[in-house]
Amino acid sequence: MAEYKTSPFAEKLYKIIGLAERVLLAAAIIALLLNRFEKGNGAQLLTLSLGSLAAIYFLRAYKPQSYAEEKPADGDPKFGMFDLVLQTIAPKVGWIGCSVTTLGILFYLQAMKGQEQILLLGGGTLAIVNVMLGIAFLKGNKLVSQLLMRTVPLCLMALYLLSKVFSF
């Protein structure tokens, strides 16, 4: 595959996005603790951090992907249709699914209308992406581990919140 050269601006931007994600996750945890103990303005901090985190996940979908440089042996093609989908489409769908699920969690915490649909859409998308990424990870593709660390917990949180919303 051809190697794509990213601009210096894009490289700096994605480094800042990675740092911003860590800061926003810490802010979301602090906000949840403030809400739990009813101290300060935890709700506003939670809204800001989860909304910004959803935007960060959405921006990550547009990051140029790094491809595995595997040279197939003679008669043993290692780069098939599944690998192509896994390296091009699945990361984009996964990051956008993370964004939608984060917005669904925000809607749930604020008891806004449409929370069930957003959680169902985001969680369902992440479930499908998790199956694909899990198969790839078990086959030895280590490039998917960063995305799996985000999709699995968000999918489980969406499943948990959906079970609370649709309790019978």
Residue 27 to residue 46: CA distance in whole angstroms: 7
Show the low-confidence residues of the chain (pLDDT under 50): 1, 68
Looking at residue 78, its pLDDT comes to 61
Burial class (CB in 10 A: 0-12, 13-18, 19+), 69: exposed
Looking at residue 74, its pLDDT comes to 52
Residue 87 to residue 5: CA distance in whole angstroms: 17
Looking at residue 142, its pLDDT comes to 79
Looking at residue 73, its pLDDT comes to 53
Q: Helix crossing, 8-36 with 42-60: angle to 10°? A: 150
Looking at residue 24, its pLDDT comes to 94
CB atoms within 10 A of CB 44: 11
Q: Residue 156 in contact with residue 142, Cβ under 8 Å?
A: no
57's enclosing H/E stretch is helix 42-60
Q: Residue 122 in contact with residue 97, Cβ under 8 Å?
A: yes
CB atoms within 10 A of CB 8: 7
Residue matched to tokens 């939670």: 46
Domain segments of the chain as ranges: 8-165
Looking at residue 67, its pLDDT comes to 54
Amino acid at 99: S
Encoded tokens for 71: 């040279």
Looking at residue 168, its pLDDT comes to 53
Q: Residue 67 in contact with residue 49, Cβ under 8 Å?
A: no
Helices then strands, each counted (H, E), the chain: 5, 0
Residue among 146, 157, 163 nearest 103 (CA): 157
